[in-house]
Chain A
């Protein structure tokens, strides 16, 4: 029951907005803002044939780029978080790189890697890696000293220490970073499609706009919105499982079990 009410609360505003659009645009004769019903009608015929090529390739690049950003961010963040000296050396450089807006890198990356999918992936990684990296550093740095001592006393080292102590202790921060990285990655997927590609979701939407296929263009934008929602739901599920202990810990103590 509580779940249902929560769901209703979450869905209320989006549904209301969609309904509002539907009503406001119902009799629209504007070329640029066609009725929602026409946009939805265009949805199926537009994307069904492209599903295998455009959508899938963009999403594949997104997944690869995002995974790369997470692996690189966590992989670099752990040694940097654990070693103050290393951090002192790298931190200024990291701050500098982080300050560069990722789309600004597109021309440079394009020069080096050409028009291939490697460029898209690299653009996504270069933007999405930062929140993961910086949050991982914070998380690893804040590992509880008593837990670290406990590991030392019981001889817990190597891979088990990494998995049982470091990754788990830093996981709340790492997952916060991953959540921020996900939205950045989606944005960069679209931007790199538009700036680099000759295919992909972003590119196709741009093509529709240039060709004045307005309902099709809007349907693409809706598709991206839907993709974002689905990905964030998947992410929430992952977070609920991975951080069950953390949410439990932070709930007011209930005393004896």
Chain B
């Protein structure tokens, strides 16, 4: 199958104030339509940088990102992003409902359809009863759910998620992981899910792309052959899960040792 997203030899060097940082050295991977791919890498590996290049928010220094058949050189239509800093990606002067509705208003969605999509999306993330609340009246997990609702109401072809659950507690995090997987299966979206958490990557993904520490390259592109139906307790306690998890961990450790010696 032709990939929906193709990342080809992307390199990104931040250049400013006399300090150049090679955040990404050379990254290539692709996502087929409908796939859920996790990118895992240590903190500072350039995961956010990569996601911004894919989203068209940053121009790569080298290489290219292709979505469909089109080279990305600005935010492409049909792509939604859930940012790492959920607290800052919701508009504090808009209610949860209006936050979700905003991109659709811009797209001139007819009012009836708009209401259906927004109500539907908020219902799906379990926030049917907080339409009128402002983001700052919601807990962190709820805020992130509003951000997810905004993304799915937009009906994207591809959804990028940048460590979306890094800042919520473990229980909420498990709930949100399952929520994301069920949304993915229901909406037949392609999801690129970035995380620094190895367990999360293995639990969530169909594939895990393992990144090295900076200067960043792809260490391995690992298929996750766990069954599609996943369960926080059952899946995580299978031997296969432990194997895959150990494999990813070993890969990252190995790269670390090689770079320090």
Contact = CB atoms under 8 A, between A and B. Distances in A.
A91 B180 CA distance: 48
A109 B92 CA distance: 43
A257 B137 contact: yes
Nearest to B58: A149
Contacts of B88: 144, 146-147
A245 interface: yes
Interface stretch (A114-122, A131-139, A153-161, A200-208): A153-161
Nearest to A161: B106
A254 B83 contact: no
Nearest to B77: A155
B103 A146 contact: no
A180 to B, nearest CB: 22
Interface residues of B, number: 33
Contacts of B52: 149
Contact of A150 (B56, B74, B89, B133): B89
Contacts of B75: 152-153, 155
B134 A248 contact: yes
A242 to B, nearest CB: 9
A6 to B, nearest CB: 23
Q: A interface, by DSSP: helix, strand, loop or mixed?
A: helix
Contacts of B93: 168, 171, 245-246
Nearest to A156: B106
Contacts of A155: 75, 77, 103, 106-107
A154 B74 CA distance: 11
Interface in A58-112: none
A255 B141 CA distance: 11
Interface in B57-82: 57, 74-75, 77, 79-81
B126 to A, nearest CB: 13
A149 B142 CA distance: 21
Contacts of A4: none
A249 interface: yes
A257 B138 contact: yes
Contact of A255 (B55, B134, B139): B139
B29 interface: no
18 contacts: A144-B88, A146-B85, A149-B52, A152-B56, A154-B106, A155-B107, A156-B103, A160-B105, A160-B106, A164-B102, A165-B91, A171-B93, A245-B93, A245-B134, A248-B134, A248-B137, A249-B136, A257-B130
Interface of A: 144, 146-147, 149-150, 152-157, 160, 164-165, 168, 171, 245-246, 248-249, 253-257
